[in-house]
Amino acid sequence: MTTLHSGKTLGITSFARCGDGSQQMFQISPGIPAAVALEYAALLQEAVNQALLEAVDGENRTALLWPALYMGEMAKAIIDHLAVGLKRLPGTDLA
């Protein structure tokens, strides 16, 4: 059975709409081990959570909202990318 440790990113997911919204600024790079990408997404999500907590409880409430939004978008792109990639691997039971 294929596991997370044997998967790699495919380089098919773009994110960060820019301009008139029809273009994407960034793309997940191909060939990154899935477990490494998932760990990176978790670290990004942790930073998002900390930024949002600071925005809610801190003195400068809005300074961290945009960075939190962008980091959240990056984390989601990685997770979405891995979900698509893992579905394509032989031997996975992902629907």
pLDDT reported for residue 1: 39
> Is the pLDDT assigned to residue 84 strictly greater than 50?
yes
pTM score: 0.81
DSSP state of 95: -
- Short-list 62, 75, 8, CA closest to 35: 8
pLDDT reported for residue 21: 87
Per-residue pLDDT band at 94 (split at 50, 70, 90): low
94 in a structural domain = no
47 in a structural domain = yes
22 in a structural domain = yes
60 in a structural domain = yes
84 in a structural domain = yes
Q: Give the chain's domain count.
A: 1
Q: What tens digit of pLDDT does each residue of 14-64 get?
A: 999 989 989 999 999 999 999 999 999 999 999 999 999 998 887 777 888
Greater confidence (16 vs 87) lies with 16
pLDDT reported for residue 90: 66
CA separation, residue 55 to residues 13, 20, 45, 73 (Å): 29, 29, 15, 17
Give phi and psi for 63, each to the nearest 5: -60, -30
Query: What residue numbers bound the domain in which 30 lies?
Result: 4-88
